[in-house]
Amino acid sequence: MITLVLARAVNGVIGRDGTLPWHLPADLKRFKALTMGRPMIMGRKTFESFPAPLPGRRHIVLTRDPDWSAPGAEPAHTPGQALRLTGGDAVVIGGAQVFALFLDRAERIELTEVHAAPDGDAVVPPFGDDWREAMREDHDAEGDRPTYSFVTLVRG
Could you read off the pLDDT of 81-120 as tens digits, one per residue? 999 999 989 999 999 999 999 999 999 999 999 999 999 9
Q: How many CA atoms lie within 13 A of 23 on its CB side?
A: 2
pTM of the model: 0.95
**Which candidate, 23, 20, 16, places its Cα nearest to that of 141?**
23
In a domain, 71, yes or no: yes
Q: What's the CATH number where 115 sits?
A: 3.40.430.10
Residue 87 placed within a domain: yes
Residue 152 β-bridge partners:
110, 135
Residue 14 lies in a domain: no
Please report how many Cα atoms fall inside a 13 Å half-sphere around the Cα of residue 62, on the Cβ side. Answer: 25
Torsion of CA 42, 47, 49, 54, to 10 degrees: 100
Give the residue among 112, 115, 111, 110 at the shortest CA–CA distance from 147: 115
Whether 149 is in a domain gets the answer: yes
Q: Is residue 11 part of a domain?
A: no
Which ranges of 49-125 would DSSP assign to H, the alpha helix? 79-86, 96-102
Is 95 contained in some domain? yes
Structural domain count, the chain: 1
Contact call for residues 96 and 121 (beta carbons, < 8 A): no
Domain housing 76? 2-6+22-155
Amino acid letter, residue 56? G
Taking the CA atoms of 99, 29, 110 and 81 in sequence, report the sign of the dihedral they define.
positive
Q: pLDDT of the chain along its 156 residues, tens only? A: 999 999 999 999 999 998 999 999 999 999 999 999 999 999 999 999 999 999 999 999 999 999 999 999 999 999 999 999 999 899 999 999 999 999 999 999 999 999 999 999 999 999 989 999 999 999 999 999 999 999 999 998
